[in-house]
Amino acid sequence: MTRKMDMDLLSEKIRNLADSSGLDALGFAEAAEFSDYALNHSQRRDPKLSLSGAKTIIVAGIYIGGLTLPAWMNPRYGRTSRLYLSAFFLDVVKPLEPIVNLLRNQGYQAIVCDGAQEDGSVIPLKLAAVRAGLGWQGKHTLLISKKYGTFLALGGIITDAPLEHNTEQESNQCDKCDKCQQACPLGALDQPYVLNRNSCLSNMLQIEHLPREAKAVMENRVGDCEICQEACPWNKKHIDHPLTTNMTESFQKKIEDWETFFYLPDLVNLSEESYREKLGHLNTDIPYNLFHRNVLIALERVKNGESDE
């Protein structure tokens, strides 16, 4: 009984900390194996390989739909994604720190899914978020939250603290909708709920070999693609009328001069050093030469009058 009260109290403290750190969504899940995880990445599949006494996975989400975006609809500006602008995992890692400190002060171990390196991504975050009750995986494979659509950047902690565990998962609401599948110009979602990584434009824009079919559809994208997310009906209200949340302001500060930063005629002259200085903290993983290649293609398109402008 006392143990249960302690557990509830700690879970409650974590919820309060999450609120004050600006996290928009939080859930607790049992740290059991993700037996349906398809990648050959055993550490990610089994949280106990990261922490042998793991009991709980804490999954957190930050709403990234509220960013003021650069002038992406103008083909003279390079286009990226909300996740890219919000520094992938990193903005979810920082607000998790107070929770990690609390757990450690109480004598528990806590490992953060920092995502900065391949092995830092110690949890399959979409599957963990579903288990924690934050939403369901859509046909584009992304987590859909009723409140935030797919615009939740996810982060997580594995801990040996015995916290409350969610037991009710959100039911899948995609039903017959296949808008994301139809929207993908490269057929990366031909099979619902499975992303063919080799055909995903987000992936292609960060690898050496850019196939001709990707070049034909990338438009002004210089890194990352959000086509499937833009087509998702659960995102419509966020695209038309983004919410303002606690974090919107801090994201915004970081991209203050970015409305002009992505102007292609200037962007093409960005040196490797400035690239690192300006975008390094965003953890995009896109090497300078590939970013520059993407910018050149986008600019060429404007010069050749292939854009609608």
The footprint of ligand B12 (CB under 6 A) covers 36-39, 81, 83, 88-89, 113, 115, 121, 123-127, 137, 140-143, 150, 152-154, 172, 193-195, 197, 200, 202-203, 224-226, 228-229
Q: Is the Cβ of residue 56 or residue 181 nearer to ligand B12 in the bound state? A: 181
DSSP state of 149: B
Q: Is the Cβ of residue 127 or residue 299 nearer to ligand B12 in the bound state? A: 127
Tell me if 85 sits within 8 A of 255, measured CB to CB: yes
Helix axis angle for 288-303 and 272-279, nearest 10°, is 100
Helix (H/G/I), strand (E/B), else coil: 130: helix
Q: Is the Cβ of residue 202 or residue 220 nearer to ligand B12 in the bound state? A: 202
Quote the least distance from Cβ 157 to ligand B12, whole Å: 13
Within 10 angstroms of residue 181's Cβ, the number of other Cβ atoms is 18
Quote the least distance from Cβ 132 to ligand B12, whole Å: 13
Tell me if 24 sits within 8 A of 148, measured CB to CB: yes
Q: How far is CA 214 from the centre of its chain?
A: 22
Q: Is the Cβ of residue 10 or residue 96 nearer to ligand B12 in the bound state? A: 96
| C-alpha dihedral sign at 295, 93, 110, 54 | negative
Tell me if 231 sits within 8 A of 180, measured CB to CB: yes
Quote the least distance from Cβ 95 to ligand B12, whole Å: 13
Q: Any alpha helices (H) in the chain, and if so which ranges?
A: 2-20, 42-45, 82-85, 90-93, 97-105, 125-131, 179-183, 201-204, 212-217, 227-231, 236-240, 246-254, 258-261, 264-267, 272-279, 288-303
Quote the least distance from Cβ 94 to ligand B12, whole Å: 13
Q: Is the Cβ of residue 38 or residue 216 nearer to ligand B12 in the bound state? A: 38
Quote the least distance from Cβ 62 to ligand B12, whole Å: 9
Quote the least distance from Cβ 208 to ligand B12, whole Å: 15
C-alpha 153/C-alpha 254 separation (Å) is 16
Quote the least distance from Cβ 180 to ligand B12, whole Å: 7
C-alpha 293/C-alpha 278 separation (Å) is 18
Cα maximum dimension of the chain: 72
Q: Is the Cβ of residue 11 or residue 229 nearer to ligand B12 in the bound state? A: 229
Quote the least distance from Cβ 227 to ligand B12, whole Å: 9
Please enumerate, as own/partner, the contacts of 199-202 that have beta carbons within 8 Å and a separation of 24 or more: 200/225, 201/225, 201/227, 202/81
Quote the least distance from Cβ 2 to ligand B12, whole Å: 36
Distance from the first to the final alpha carbon of the chain? 68
